[in-house]
Amino acid sequence: MTQVIDVFAHVLLKDFYQQMLEIEPALPQMFPFIQHPHLLDMKERRRFWDGRSQQIVSSVNINPEGYVAAPEAARLCRLANQELAELVKANQDMFLAGVGMIPLNHLEAAQEILEELAGVKELCGVQLFTRALGRSIADPAFKVIFATCARLKLPIWLHPIFDERKPDNNILFLGNMS
């Protein structure tokens, strides 16, 4: 039998989302897709699950770095990663693994969080967006993140952020990242 794995299924983590709503109450209006019930309600998600496939889940694109200062962004990323690991563990039949997040406005904490992620069996890497804080992820400032992931052998799940000003949408990497 062939196993089907959906590798970029998103979830909206309840506690993390509540804290983000306290910071930015307009999130549902800014990003209407996050109101989809299957993102937050696992009972509803299960109603439509085929019972055979598994998902590797990541949090929807409301990373704290775009809303709060560096220390708070790091705290919220840790909260989200812990909550995601617990969600995966509680739903092992449906979720194969989760993909963590890091605060790109706090690169020192991001490296520490990557070290933490490497030791969590329910998480299988880190999600990075092709643009962060208005810059391409290929910006030299983020080189340390790639080096840390390489050292830890931690997969990077690259999620495109489409920028109509750039025809390559920042997905193309040129040069040696090491």
- What is the domain partition of the chain in residue ranges? 5-159
Residue 20 has pLDDT above 60, yes or no: yes
Identify the residue with better confidence: 53 or 163.
53
The whole-number average pLDDT for the span 64-80 is 97
Confidence of residue 163 (pLDDT cuts 50, 70, 90): low
- Topology at the third CATH level for domain 5-159: TIM Barrel (3.20.20)
CA-based nearest residue to 61, from 146, 159, 141: 159
The whole-number average pLDDT for the span 129-149 is 91
The whole-number average pLDDT for the span 37-58 is 93
d(CA 136, CA 111): 19
Confidence of residue 136 (pLDDT cuts 50, 70, 90): confident
Task: Flag the least confident range among 9-13, 52-56, 127-131.
Answer: 127-131
For 54, phi then psi, to 5°, come to: -125, 160
Q: What is the pLDDT of residues 97-130, one digit of tens each?
A: 999 999 999 999 999 999 999 999 999 999 998 8
Q: What angle do CA 114, 118, 120 make, to 5 degrees?
A: 115
Report whether 165 contacts 134 (CB < 8 A).
Answer: no
Strand order in the sheet with 123-129: 5-11, 54-59, 95-100, 123-129, 156-159
